[in-house]
Structure 1
Amino acid sequence: MADQDVRQRLLPRDKEEGESLKDDFDNLPLKAKLKLARKAKADPMYILVLEVLMIIFVAVGGLYCWFYFENVHFHVTHAYAHLGYDVAQHQVGQRYLHGKGVDKHPQKAMEWFKKAADQGHPHASYNLAIGHLKGYKTDLKAGESHRLIHHAAANGVREAHEVLNSVCTKGGCY
Structure 2
Amino acid sequence: MADQDVRQRLLSEREEANVKWDPQSLPLKAKLKLARKANEDPTYVRVLEVLMVIFTVVGALYCWFYFDNVHFHVTHAYAHLGYDVAQHQVGQRYLHGKGVEKHPDKAMEWFKKASDQGHPHAAYNLAVGHLKGYKTELRPGESHRLITHAAANGVREAHDVLNSVCTKGGCY
- Please classify the TM superposition score into its range, dividing by the shorter chain length: 0.7 to 0.9
Question: Residue 33 of structure 1: CA displacement?
Answer: 1.7
1 CA distance for matches of 2:92 and 2:82?
Answer: 16
Q: 1:38 to 1:133 in 2, by over 3 A?
A: same
Question: Residue 36 of structure 1: CA displacement?
Answer: 1.6
Q: Which one of 161, 169, 172 corresponds to residue 171 of structure 1?
A: 169
Residue equivalent to 2:160: 162
Question: Residue 24 of structure 1: CA displacement?
Answer: 9.6
2 CA distance for matches of 1:32 and 1:90?
Answer: 62
TM-score, normalisation: structure 1: 0.86
2 CA distance for matches of 1:90 and 1:47?
Answer: 44
Residue deviations 1:93-112 (CA, integer Å, cap 9, x gap): 00000000000000000000
Residue deviations 1:54-74 (CA, integer Å, cap 9, x gap): 000000000000000000000
2 CA distance for matches of 1:140 and 1:91?
Answer: 20
1 CA distance for matches of 2:140 and 2:29?
Answer: 86
Q: Which one of 105, 122, 125 corresponds to residue 123 of structure 2?
A: 125
2 CA distance for matches of 1:85 and 1:25?
Answer: 66
Paired AA for residue 73 in structure 1: H
Question: Size of the alignment, in residue pairs?
Answer: 160
2 CA distance for matches of 1:86 and 1:31?
Answer: 60
Residue equivalent to 1:104: 102
Residue equivalent to 2:74: 76
Unpaired stretches in structure 1, ≥5 consecutive residues: 1-14
Q: Which one of 65, 68, 89 corresponds to residue 67 of structure 1?
A: 65
Contact 1:153 1:160 in 2 (8 A): yes
Residue equivalent to 1:140: 138
Residue equivalent to 2:4: none
Computed over aligned residues only, the root mean square deviation of the Cα atoms, in angstroms, reads: 1.8
Unpaired stretches in structure 2, ≥5 consecutive residues: 1-7
Contact 1:86 1:116 in 2 (8 A): yes
Q: 1:17 to 1:78 in 2, by over 3 A?
A: farther
2 CA distance for matches of 1:71 and 1:161?
Answer: 33
Question: Residue 28 of structure 1: CA displacement?
Answer: 2.2
Contact 1:117 1:124 in 2 (8 A): yes
Paired AA for residue 58 in structure 1: T
